[in-house]
Amino acid sequence: MPKKKKASKEGKAKEEEEEEPEDEAEEEADKEEADGKAKVESKEDAKGTEVAEGDKDGGYPKAEEEPSKAPAVPAVPPPFRVVFKAHDSYPPMETAVAVTYCPLCSLPPDFCQYGPCWEKCKPWCLENAPHYYPELSGVSLEDAKKRAEELGEKSKEKLLPGGKVKRAKSPHVTIRKLNRGGRKCVTSVAGLDTFSIKLDDVAKLFKKKFACGCAVVKGENTLPDTVDIQGDFEDEVIDIITAEWKQVPPEKISVLDAGNKKKGKGK
């Protein structure tokens, strides 16, 4: 009988030793669960504070302050466009419609931008038809005029191959006696206009000095205009030119060989 009691005591002790590690494992699992729950609750509390702050600023969380940006450039207004209407939607025409055309490109003002010389037409469009070009509202009219003048001067310059400017001819006066058949002749003077002298004034002076017919004749086929005097006055013309117009030096006057004056076309 005493041996059985000892055996029972030893079995109980073993059972208690086996139960102790199981209890420790359960306690550790309970601690891990509690720590996980605490972390989840802290995250939810942080989200709640962010949402509360966002409600104050229009429902969104407060964004970080961004560096100051440059002011936005104003958008360019769209080009002017006429709304299309069918021809039968317009009222009947009672009088003729006066259409304004550009004096430079001969196009309507709303088509000047498609013409061959838009930069030259721009000042005229800004003055007479600005409603067609709202995108030019900030353009200076004086700058546009200067640009148009520069282009006009460039177009007058005759360029040689390679972009070289053709040298202008030096002013020179030529005198030639032309035979008209028989004993009649005409003294032709050319080149006085290159010295900024009006040919009409020259013709009046020669007519008064020589008491004969004198007129300005336009040149044909790129020839210069001339002052034709009826008669032989080669030497007298040189004296009058050097006396009346001091800007014409004597070395710039030359007498050419005599020739025959062409007759006009018969009627």
Structure confidence at residue 218 (pLDDT): 87
**pLDDT surpasses 50 at 198:** yes
Query: Any residues with CB less than 8 A from the CB of 104 and at least 6 apart, and which?
Result: 112, 117, 120, 121, 124
Instruction: Lowest mean pLDDT of 93-97, 143-147, 196-200, name the range.
Output: 93-97
User: Which tokens in the block code for residue 92?
Assistant: 């009947």
Binned at pLDDT 50, 70 and 90, residue 202 comes out as very high
Architecture in CATH for domain 173-260 = 2-Layer Sandwich (3.30)
The answer to whether 144 and 114 have CB atoms below 8 angstroms apart is no
User: Which tokens in the block code for residue 129?
Assistant: 């038809």
Q: By percentage, how much of the chain surpasses pLDDT 90?
A: 13
Tell me the C-alpha distance between 192 and 161, whole Å.
31
Instruction: Lowest mean pLDDT of 73-77, 198-202, 254-258, name the range.
Output: 73-77
In sign, the C-alpha dihedral spanning 165, 170, 173, 176 is negative
Decide which of 87 and 201 is more confident: 201
Query: Any residues with CB less than 8 A from the CB of 175 and at least 6 apart, and which?
Result: 187, 188, 189, 234, 237, 238, 253, 254, 255, 256
Structure confidence at residue 71 (pLDDT): 62
> What is the Cβ-side half-sphere exposure of residue 94, based on CA atoms within 13 angstroms?
1
Question: How many beta carbons lie within 10 A of that of residue 176, not counting itself?
Answer: 18
The one-letter amino acid code at 80 reads F
114-169: per-residue pLDDT in tens?
A: 888 888 999 999 999 888 888 888 888 898 888 888 887 766 555 566 656 566 67
Structure confidence at residue 150 (pLDDT): 84
Binned at pLDDT 50, 70 and 90, residue 200 comes out as very high
Average pLDDT, the chain: 75
**pLDDT surpasses 60 at 102:** yes
Decide which of 7 and 34 is more confident: 34
Structure confidence at residue 3 (pLDDT): 45
Structure confidence at residue 173 (pLDDT): 92
46-74: per-residue pLDDT in tens?
A: 555 554 454 444 444 455 555 556 666 65
Q: Mean pLDDT, to the nearest integer, of 173-199?
A: 87
Structure confidence at residue 227 (pLDDT): 92
**pLDDT surpasses 90 at 205:** yes
Structure confidence at residue 256 (pLDDT): 84
213-251: per-residue pLDDT in tens?
A: 899 988 877 788 899 999 888 889 999 998 998 888 888
The answer to whether 148 and 154 have CB atoms below 8 angstroms apart is no
Closest listed residue to residue 132, CA positions, set 164, 100, 105, 159: 100
State the DSSP H helix or E strand holding residue 14, giving kind and residue range, or none if neither. helix 2-56
Query: Any residues with CB less than 8 A from the CB of 122 and at least 6 apart, and which?
Result: 112, 136, 139, 144, 147, 148
Structure confidence at residue 180 (pLDDT): 77
Q: Residues of CATH 3.30.780.10 domain(s) within the chain?
A: 173-260
